[in-house]
Each structure stands twice: as structure tokens, then as C-alpha cells.
Structure 1
Amino acid sequence: MRIPEETVDRIRQSADILEVINDFVSLKKRGSNYIACCPFHNEKTPSFNVNPTRQIYKCFGCGKAGDAVRFVMDIENIGYGEALRYLAKKYGIEIEEQEQTPEDLLRQNERESLLIVLNFAKTFFQETLQTSDEGKSIGLSYFRERGFTNPTIDAFELGYSFDQWDALMQAALRRGYSRDVLEKAGLILSKEGGKVFDRFRGRVMFPIHNVSGRVIAFGARILKTDKNQPKYLNSPETPVYHKSQVLYGIFQAKQTIRQEDVCYLTEGYTDVISLHQAGIKNVVASSGTSLTTEQIRLIARFTPNVTILYDGDAAGIKAALRGLDMVLEEGLNLRLLLLPDGEDPDSYVHKVGAEAFKAYIQQHSQDFIDFKANRWLSEAGDNPLKRAEGISDVCTSITKIPDPLKRQTLSQRVAQVFHVSEQSVISEINRQLRQQQDRSRKETDRQKEREMRQQPPVATPDEPSFDEINGLLNALEIDTAPAEFTEGAIPQPSNPSPDRSKVARTPLSYQEEECVRLLINYGVRELEPGITLCQYVLSELHEIDFQTPTFKLILSLFREAYSRGEILTADDFLNRQSADEVDMQQEAIHLTTPRYEISDGWLKHEIHVPSEEEIGILADAAYRNILRIKKMLAEQRMSSLQQQLREASMKAPEEADQILTEFMHFKRIDIEISRLLGTVISG
């Protein structure tokens, strides 16, 4: 299905990158840009940078970069067309849908197909709940008994599945969805003998949404007594649903979590829904699984503060203790609240009301030190060994915290609570940290030993040693007098190297990158009247090609444009969207996004910090970059000639003089460039 180009342009113009990314990550302003911890990889210190002026993002940790459309594609793992549809829906832009041909359906990727059929199932369950006699008498009655209002039912898109073998499947097949897609989405089951039937039958349905609000799975509760059926039934793992990475209610809660700067974590669907209806909307649940590291990192996108709300029974205490260290290990600030025995968040908020529930949270939530200490002190009594065991247990939790300053501060709290010296607490924490480091080191050593035993012996190639090469250079009587050189004296590099993301980078690739960065950012700037940076660089690099494929392509595009009387700018690269131009767009984002900004303090005190945009500095940067590129090309040629000289000395001595003459020529070039750069000249 093709979206008209004018509609694509309208979507792109309407999409604001700050608004789009804020749906998934909490951004904080820093200078003219915004930062956050990257949603694409685990990190404690923010390296994710958003530039609202250029409408691009860049992570300096993992390298992810792009515009609003690319962000949606990356965060949702969906295709270009589906990302455009997501943004169109967000900004109320109507897309004229065209009838899909069989070829269109084949081209549609699996993930998008699953999301579409899951959305169909959600709508089917909603309509069954609201319009069918069975849905209203059973499903809707149950939700009314739980106290859920119509706005709440709509907000969570609750539904009901017919108590029939294949009601959903038949409806889906009539709409053109295949059995294969329905089964991969976890909506139907196949048994031996060819029997196929709905997974969910006769249950109230709780759609599970991802961060952007797409339905990715279902939780379902049976309402009749049937010992052969589980009370709750969840969707299986699918390509779009991994329960360890999902939190129930995160879509409905994310804005309030960001505003309140705290997330309440519960265990069940109805806990989330009841608290949301009571006005406590910053609440999510780790339903269907014990709390996982991925779920904690999902919370960390929106706030560093977590309060765990668990039942006050033994199971609730055990669950709270199990998740405690995991939350601390991810660097979040943690508080815990145990409700009165026999109560869960759903029942308690109905019993006391929203305001009393909020007051109870404020009065009874504890930090993890008080939470653990109270249990140990009540159990230990006057037993000093038990008290020591309790101190050690609390210290173990503190060692999970990655921030040393936090550990130092919390050690003071432990000393106060247990009435012991702070130094003894610090000593215990350090002892445990050393033990953890020793265990980690030993495991690393064991892993290396296992890998070495699995590696076959590798023969050492017969290559000249470092001393041999130095001896060859010293034996050459080279005239070190400066010599004139031009770029034409340096031969074309051959055999371009593979993509730098797949191999170790060469020193030359960094200089090529710097040259391209100057062109993209400052190509139109005049270094002197009538001479632009682009004109200077292209004239100096006449007949020289880069070796890194992406940089070689960018340089060729500058040459082509300049031959037409044009100079390309950053926008010419940032707006490229075709599949074969993604690498170029990513590179342009990397080269136009500065990692650091001048502190406001320098500006406040009127301290001038030189900028590379100043003409003198920019001209010098371009000049030195060109020199380094030519120097490295000369060094490459010299290295090749060394090998040729070695071979000629053994096989064809008559060729040695010619090779030596050429080597001396490039050596003079190398020495002259080193002098111009002011670098140390060896040999």
C-alpha cells in the first residue's frame, strides 16, 4: 500500500521530533538541545541527544540516529510505511487508503501483519462486550461489579470473548486475515487432527499495549468456575510480544509518570485499572511475569523514581524483596509500600477511596533500608548475630547501586538505623564489593580459558618484524631536504576498504570523516573572498578518492553538485530516506550533531571560547585536514613500496633502485608535510 508523496510530506512537516520522542522517553533540556538515557541500549549516563532545530536525534553511545520517522521505526521495530501511519494518526492526518493487492499483502512484513490482526481482535472483543447479549450480560456485568466506569473501560479498551470455539477466527477469516497470521499472533490454536479454535473463549479481555499504544497481546480472565481452565490466560510469546519487556498500563500511565516523576508498580491488571480510575494514573503492573530488568529499564525512560505497591501478605513481601535489588542495580530510587494484610491495591482503593489511598502511600511507603531493617530488627530482637546478619543483608542491596556517592550516603542511613558506626558499614560494603569483583574476575578468567581451549592453534605468518622494517628505513640514505609536492604526486588509493561498521577503522578513515564533516557543516562558508570551503577542499583533493565507502560516496556527491554550480548542505543529506541512503543519512546526523555544548557559565561571565566557525580557525582546520590526508596516503604508498623492495631484493635486484627512488620521493613528501603540521619527524 503506497502513501501519496504529498501526504508523506505533510506527515513529515507536521511531526515534531520532541513530541514524538517524548511519547517514549523523558527528555531534559540541555543548552539548545535535549538529552535522555538512550531507549535503544542500557546506560546510566544520558548520551541520547535530540536537536529540535534540525529535527534529528543521535545517540553517542550506540550510534542510533535519524529523524522522527526513523525513531518510530527503530523504537517500534516497524517498517517505513507503518511508521508514517503511526505519525499520521498522532497528528490527525488522513491517509487515503488504497485497496491492498495480493502482492501488497505479500510485501507487508510479519510484524506489521501481527499488529494489524491484533488490533482487529481488540476491536472485535470490544464490540462483543458492548453490543452482544452475551458480552453485556457476562463481561460488562463483571466490569460493573468491579466498579469500572465507561470512560475507564474505553481507556483500557476492555472487551469480552464469546464462549464459542471459533467466533474470532471466523470473523477474522471473513475479513481476509490468514490462519497463519492468527496463529502467530497467539489468537488461535491448532491441535493434532486439524482442529483449530480460538485461544480465548468466554473470558473478559485485557488488551496489553506497548508504549505507543499498539495492542501486542491479551490477558484474559475466566468468569465461570472450571477446574480444567486457568483463571488467567495470557498471550504466548510472539514476534511482537515479549512479556519480560512489557508493563501493563505503560501507555496509559507514561504522561502522568513523567509529570509526577514517580511510577507506582503493582502486580495485576485490575490494580492498575482501579488506581487509574481513582486518579492515580502513574501506575503499571508487571503482570504475567516476575519483575524483570527490561521492565525496570522501561520505567527508567520516564522517571528514576519507583514505588512498589504489593500486598501485605508473605507472598507480597517475598515479591517486593525479589524486585528490590534489581531496581537498585539499574540506578533507580526505590520506595516500597506493603498494604494492610489481606488487601491489594484494587480492593484497598475501593475500600478507602482515592484520597485516603494517596495519603496512605505518603505516610507508609519506606525506602529499602527501612523496609529491610524493620523486618530484621523485629526478627532479631536482642540477638546480635541476627542484627549482624541484617546489616550484611542491607549492605548487599547497597552494593547493587552503581553510584558511589549514593552508596556513601546510604551507608550513613544504615549506621543510624542499626545503631552501629558508619565505618563498620562502609567496611562491610567494601568487603562485599571486593568479593563481587573477585568473583567477576575469576569468571572472566575461566571464560577466557574455555575460549582458548576451543580455539585451534593459529600459525604465525612469516612477516617482517618491527626491527626489520626499522633497519630497512635506517639503511636508506634519504635526502631530508624539503621538496615541493602536489596532490597529483600521490597515487590513487585502490581496493576501497569494507564498511567501517564491520571492520576496525584505519587512521585515514578518521581524516576522511573529518573532511566530510567540514564539507557538510561549512561547505558554503567563504574562507576568503570568493573561495568557499567546498571549493578549497575539492581543488586540493583533485583526483584523490576516499577509501571508506560512505565517505567516498559523499565526496563524489559534493563533486557532482559543484560541477553543476551547487554546494550541498547538511539538509541535502539529512532528508534522504530511501533504503540505500540510510547509511548516508546516519553519517550526516553523526557529523552534524555536536556531543558537547559550551556551558552557560562561560557565556554568563563573558568568557570567549574560540569556535571552529570562526574563519581563521575553520581555514586552519581545513588546511591541516588536507595535509593529514595526503600524509597518510603517502605513508600507505611507502608501506607498499617497503614490501616491494623486500621482494625485489630477493627476486629482481635490478628493480630495487627504481623502487628505492620512488620510496625516497614519498619519504620527502612525508617529511615536508610533517614539517608543515609541526609534528615530530622520526628517522
Structure 2
Amino acid sequence: MISQNTIAQVFETARVEEVIGDFVQLKKAGSNFKGLSPFSEERSPSFMVSPVKQIWKDFSSGKGGNAVTFLMEHEHFTYPEAIKYLAKKYNIEIEETERTDEEKTQQNAKESLYLVSEYANEYFQKILHKTDQGKAIGLSYFKERGFTEETIKKFQLGYALDEWQAFTDDALGKGYKLEFLEQTGLTIVKDQKRFDRFKGRVMFPIHSMSGRILGFGGRILTNDKKAAKYLNSPESEIYHKSKVLYGLYFAKQTIAKEDNCFLVEGYTDVIQFYQTGVKNVVSSSGTALTSDQIRLINRLTNNITVLFDGDAAGIRASIRGIDLILEQGMNVKVCTFPDGEDPDSFAKSNTLEELTAYLDENAKDFIQFKASLLVKEAKNDPIKKAETIREIVNSIAKIPDAIKREIYIQECASIMDISENVLFSTLAQISKKEYQEANKKHKQQQKAFEVVKSEPQQKQKVDVQYELERKIIEILMLYGDRTEQFEDLILKEDETSGELLLEPTIHEARVFEKIYLDLQEDEMMFSNEKFRELYYSIIDKLNQDEDFSTKDFINQLDQATASEVTGILMEDEKYNLHDWQRNHIIPKEKEHSISQLVSQTILSLRCYLIDQKVAEYKNDTLREGVDSRTIIEDVKDYLGLKMLLSRKLGKVIGGYSIK
């Protein structure tokens, strides 16, 4: 168990904008930061981070919380894992008591897969550095590739002994269960036999964005033609190769800083680039690029430079991934290396200055690159040239931004020496065809289901009491500990006319005391159970602690309640997502009229509850055997009270008629 002292130190030290900034590209938005949601597909930011409140809110998914809850939501960490991750990030020493056997057995299956993978990673590194076979074969191979000792340790490279059960036997001897060794793919079980999947291979551990071990890539070092050169971990509950990019854990901060990501094909390409000094590089690990992988990059930057080796066939096959990048609304450049060179070999034989200069000079816009590549293939064949142009326009059609599409059409017309009107016409045809196909598919899906005609859906009514109770929680959290001047209107009789008048009186009070006393005076009770618990918890905290901290209060809540509170506190922040100030629309700041906000909210709640009571009495008059005269008198009293409250609110409220 992690000590409370460590947990408190982590919460005190961790900065939510720094933690989230490792996973999401954040841009300044007033006093806050905004970015693309890491929990949903989107092109417009709906994700807000407040450094002042030390909380975040994702308006697209509804999730929210502090730094710990972000890691639990995004990385699927348990609470202790999130604390450990933050402690490591901020160099905080973890005070931890030994777990009991009972606590160890309570680890869920998914966590067991992570533990097995972490153990395997340590084992393969130990074999590489501490055994004769590891040094002679594995370490020698890495050294021949030009990797330094520092790089080998940085990327946690390892080696699996060329023995059938060496790793499996060692893991079982340490108490790891065979079922989890099999589920991660580290051990293959067949006909009651078990053997190591990565036997005799150098090992490349594959990390999550936060650094957890998800799986492995293994390269064979013999010339066995029957065995695959590279072998990856199979799909498991923790490893989905289409959703992972090799090297992203090491590259994420540089990608965000440089606002560009270099995309290569293999493990060694990434490592060699990183060692040379170009650290914003990731790999799809030999698999076809997927939309999920592109979205991982898109959280950090909107710019991708795809690097190809000199193999023309490989370029032709890989270029299809560019269309996927364009569909995500990202900017794409392409760079190829001289014949016989790949990113690994080129980085190895050049200095950082030479490498960066080559990338700067040879990275082309995707239209220029695709056009030059396809024109070479088409040569003087008019039919092939026409197909080439259509293929380029097909790529342009993938771009969601209309302005970018037009610019690329103009560029394509210039390169291919063809009329812009023809290209725009072709683009319109492609877009129309895609729309028709999508519409046709939609209709086919509709036919697959029985269509039941239903009554038109009524517009959902606003739950007024819920919104007002929510507003009270927001006021308490933001301004509860402030001292404000409140104007109360006291009912007095005019000595001359005898009429009842509202006489203003000013008094000073802390916001939470004003709210508490007003609610107590009318014996008003929260109808929402969650808000009721929060209300008494906040009031109690404000009573006991003069230095009330929103951050500390949220940190003590469970994940679900913390998410609810974050949603309340960040509600107004979402307006910063729309850059209203750029259009000269300045939202009014609540801080300038806190006392008025408090009074209006409480009075509005009182008026609403009176409405509810009056409606209840009206229903009572319709029941048989009920003396309506007493009820009517009560209703008149309530309506009189409401009229006074409406005068306090400064607004006119319609009356009721009782038959």
C-alpha cells in the first residue's frame, strides 16, 4: 500500500497541465488550455484544462477530474498505478508497505497481463546484459547496428535465449501463471507442451503512451527461411497493434514541442533516428498505418512527415496510408531516401546536422510527391496520365477542409499542366459518388431493420430544480470561502399609507454562510441525492478549514463524484473553446457580481419550490371530499410570498387562477 504521505506529496506536486500535456497537445485559451479530446474522434477542440483549478473537462465525452483521474481514464491505470506514475514523473520517493498475499490475489486479469509483460521486459534485458549468450549474440547484434549502450538501455532492448522453455520456466518459477503467459503470447501452449514464442530473438519492448509494456517485437538473427524475420506479440487485452505506435512514449514531448512527427516503418529506424538526435519519430512497426494510430499523433501535432526508403515498390504500397492521414485533416509531407538507403542506414551514416538538413530540403508536400511519383510511372502514356490525375484528385477529396482542397487543386493543375476547372469538376464527381455510395449504404442498413413509426419525440424539459441545485454547488466550490456584501430586502409597513414596502439592508457574510442560512430559513432540501451529499460535505469543509482548496477537495472525492464536480466547475470554461473574444463577444465575468448571483439563485429556487407547492395544492382541490377553502387560503399565502420574492428578484412572474 502507498503511504498517505506519498499520495499527499504527489497531489501537491503534480500539475494537471503538465501531466495531460504528455498525451494531448494543449494550446492556450485565456487562463486555460484547450486541445482535441483523447477520448473521442474530433477535429475541433472540446477538451479543457484549468491550471488554476487543477482540473480538466472533456465536453465531448463528459469525462473530467484531476491529474490522477485523467491517467485512470486515459491509461486505464488503477489508483495506485496513477500515483506511482506521477511519483516517478516528479521524482517523488514512494513510501509503500508490503502487500499481503490476499491483496496480491485480488489483482484483476488485465493487471496480471501488465505484470507478466513488465517481468518479461526485465528478464530479456537481464539475459542481454548478464549472460554469455546474450552478450555474444544479442548485444553484439545491437552494437553492429551502431546502437550505443545508453541507447540500448533507453529503449530497454533485450534478448531471448535460444532455448525452448527458458523464459517460460523462469516465469513459472517466479510465480507467474501460465494462463497469463499464454494470453500475452509470451508462451505458446500446444498439445500440453509449452515453449517460448520469442526463442533466439533480440527483443524490442512496445510501450504505451505512458510507458507501460504492452507487447514485444522480436527479430530472428539466424538465416532460417521458415521463420519470420520479425515476430510481434499477438493481440491481447492490453496489446492492439493497430492502436499502438512504437517509440511514441519516448517521442511524445518532442513531437509536441517541434509540432511535427516523423513516421517510419521499423523499430531500428526509430532507434537510429533518436540516437542521432531526431527524437520526434515513431513507427507503425511494419503494419499498415491505421486511423487509430494517426489519431494518437493528432493529439500531439497536426503535422506528419512520412519517411520512405528508396524501394519504389514499398513506397507505392505505403503511400495509401497518406489518404488516411488526409482524412484526419492533418498536414502531410513525404521524404524519400536515396536508393539503397533507409531511415536507419541514413541516420547511422550522417550527423544530426546532415540528417536535419536532408529532411528539410527533401520533404515535399504530398501532392508534389505523389504527382512526381505517378508521373514517372505514367511517362508519355495519356491514359496512365489521366489515371494519375484522378488518383491525385481522389486524395484531395479526402481532405475535410474546403480551403485546403482548393489550394491543392490549384497546385495539382500547375504540376500536371491541366485546367483547374477540369480538376474541380472531377473533384465534384468524386464527392458526389462518395455521397451517393454512403447514402445507399445508409438506406441498406435502414432496410435491415423493421421501421416502426413512432410518435414525434417531445422536447425534453429542463429540470429547473436540478439546474439550480447544481448552480449552488458551483457557487460554493468557486466562491464559498469569500466574504461579500449582501443586500437583503426587509418587509416593512409604511407609516403613512399602510402599504407593505421592501426596505434594503446591507450586511457582510461569507458566501457559504449566506447560502446555508437562507436554505435553513425556508427548510429547503436538495432533491438530488448526489448534490445533497456534496452540499453538506462542502459546507462542513468550509466551516472547518478557512483555507478551503477546490483542488484538495476534488482530490479526496471518488472518481465518479470528482468527474461530476469537474463538470460543474468547467461548465463556463467551454465557451473559451469557441474563441468568442476574437469576434468581440466578451462573456460577463461572474466574479464581479457574486452576491447578486447568490441571491438570484437562492430566490429562484424558492420561487420554483413555491410553484411546485401551488401545483400540488391545485391537484388536491380536484380530489373528492377535500375542503378546498383551506387549500385556497394556503395557495393565496404562497402566491403572496411569491409576489414578494419576485419583487426581490426584480422580475414579473405570472399568477395562477384557481377554479
Distance 1:197 1:155 in 2: 29
Return 317-326 or 505-514, whichever deviates more. 505-514
Match of 2:14 in 1: 15
Deviation at 1:103, TM superposition (A): 0.8
Does the Cα contact within 8 Å between 1:222 and 1:230 map onto a contact in 2?
yes
Distance 2:642 2:316 in 1: 70
Distance 1:183 1:221 in 2: 20
The Cα offsets for residues 106-152 of structure 1, whole Å up to 9 and x where unpaired, read as 22333333223212211111111112111112112222222222122
Does the Cα contact within 8 Å between 1:221 and 1:231 map onto a contact in 2?
yes
Distance 2:111 2:291 in 1: 27
State how 1:298-313 maps to structure 2 within 5 Å.
298-313=296-311
Deviation at 1:90, TM superposition (A): 2.0
Deviation at 1:76, TM superposition (A): 1.5
Aligned residues: 630
State how 1:464-613 maps to structure 2 within 5 Å.
506-523=463-480, 524-528=482-486, 529-541=507-519, 542-560=522-540, 570-571=550-551, 573-578=553-558, 581-583=561-563, 585-587=565-567, 589-590=569-570, 595-596=575-576, 611-613=589-591
Distance 1:642 1:416 in 2: 77
Return 47-56 or 197-206, whichever deviates more. 47-56
Match of 1:28 in 2: 27
RMSD, aligned α-carbons: 3.6
Distance 2:435 2:621 in 1: 52
Distance 2:185 2:381 in 1: 54
Q: Does 1:620 align with 2:596?
A: yes
Q: Which letter maps to 2:485?
A: L
Distance 2:170 2:342 in 1: 38
Q: The residue matched to 1:239 in structure 2 has which SS?
A: coil
Q: 1:117 to 1:561 in 2, by over 3 A?
A: closer
**Aligned-residue identity in percent:** 40
Distance 2:328 2:590 in 1: 39
Q: 1:422 to 1:527 in 2, by over 3 A?
A: farther
Match of 2:61 in 1: 62
Distance 1:668 1:302 in 2: 60
The Cα offsets for residues 369-413 of structure 1, whole Å up to 9 and x where unpaired, read as 112222443444566555444333323222222222322332322
State how 1:90-105 maps to structure 2 within 5 Å.
90-105=89-104
Deviation at 1:219, TM superposition (A): 0.3
Does the Cα contact within 8 Å between 1:275 and 1:346 map onto a contact in 2?
yes
Q: The residue matched to 2:57 in structure 1 has which SS?
A: strand
Match of 1:483 in 2: none
Structure 2, gaps ≥5 residues long:
487-506
Deviation at 1:339, TM superposition (A): 2.9
Match of 1:496 in 2: none
Distance 1:313 1:404 in 2: 34
Deviation at 1:3, TM superposition (A): 1.0
Q: The residue matched to 1:318 in structure 2 has which SS?
A: helix
Return 392-401 or 115-124, whichever deviates more. 392-401
The Cα offsets for residues 619-677 of structure 1, whole Å up to 9 and x where unpaired, read as 3333332343344444545666677677x4xxx47678887887787777778767756
Distance 1:441 1:21 in 2: 39
Match of 2:260 in 1: 262
Q: Does 1:203 align with 2:201?
A: yes
Deviation at 1:341, TM superposition (A): 3.9
Deviation at 1:188, TM superposition (A): 1.4
Match of 1:115 in 2: 114
Deviation at 1:564, TM superposition (A): 7.2
Deviation at 1:5, TM superposition (A): 0.9
Does the Cα contact within 8 Å between 1:521 and 1:592 map onto a contact in 2?
no
- State the TM-score, normalizing by the size of structure 2: 0.85
Q: 1:216 to 1:561 in 2, by over 3 A?
A: closer
The Cα offsets for residues 27-65 of structure 1, whole Å up to 9 and x where unpaired, read as 333333222222222222223222223322222332322
Return 364-373 or 377-386, whichever deviates more. 377-386
Q: 1:657 to 1:238 in 2, by over 3 A?
A: farther
Match of 1:478 in 2: none
Deviation at 1:220, TM superposition (A): 0.4
Match of 2:145 in 1: 146
Structure 1, gaps ≥5 residues long:
467-502
Deviation at 1:583, TM superposition (A): 4.6
State how 1:636-655 maps to structure 2 within 5 Å.
636-637=612-613, 648=623, 652=624
Distance 2:352 2:559 in 1: 51
Q: 1:525 to 1:326 in 2, by over 3 A?
A: farther
Return 4-13 or 342-351, whichever deviates more. 342-351
Distance 1:422 1:373 in 2: 15
Q: Which has the higher contact order (CA 8 A, sep 6+)?
A: 2
The Cα offsets for residues 180-237 of structure 1, whole Å up to 9 and x where unpaired, read as 3322332212223x22222221111111111222222110011123344222111112
Q: 1:659 to 1:259 in 2, by over 3 A?
A: same
Does the Cα contact within 8 Å between 1:574 and 1:588 map onto a contact in 2?
no
- State the TM-score, normalizing by the size of structure 1: 0.82
The Cα offsets for residues 568-598 of structure 1, whole Å up to 9 and x where unpaired, read as 6634632324457435543454358564299
